[in-house]
Amino acid sequence: MEGKLRVVKDMMASLDSKGESSDLLQEEMEELHELSFSLHSLSQVQSSMCWQKARPTWLQEGNANSKFFHGVMSSRRRRNTIHLIQVNGAQVQGGP
């Protein structure tokens, strides 16, 4: 997969450098468009493969940051809570 990505990137770089020095032909523009599409597709496949490879490890080891994450989110929720609001001179108190 990485080899295919490298080949596509090299071909795109070659066409890009040619385009900087002179105008590209219609066929070269179409090839650049197809290479761009291929690069996007291959990148998505590679990303999916990496995710699938990492998933068993994550399931086996668990998420080491879950306690930290929930602590941060709880702190943030407490900080963002509205305890008192004043509406037309009347105070409304809420929250625990």
The model's pLDDT over 15-42, given as tens digits with 9 standing for 90+, comes to: 888 888 888 888 888 888 888 888 888 8
pTM of the model: 0.51
* Cβ partners under 8 Å of residue 45, min gap 6: 1
* Cβ partners under 8 Å of residue 63, min gap 6: 69
Distance CA 51, CA 57 (A): 10
Domain count, the chain: 1
Is the residue at 7 inside a domain? yes
Q: Which residue type, as a one-letter code, is found at position 51?
A: W
Is the residue at 11 inside a domain? yes
Select from 90, 70, 86, 67 the least CA-distant residue to 78. 70
Which segments of the chain have a pLDDT < 70?
58-59, 61-65, 94-96
Expressed as residue numbers, the domain containing 60 is 1-64
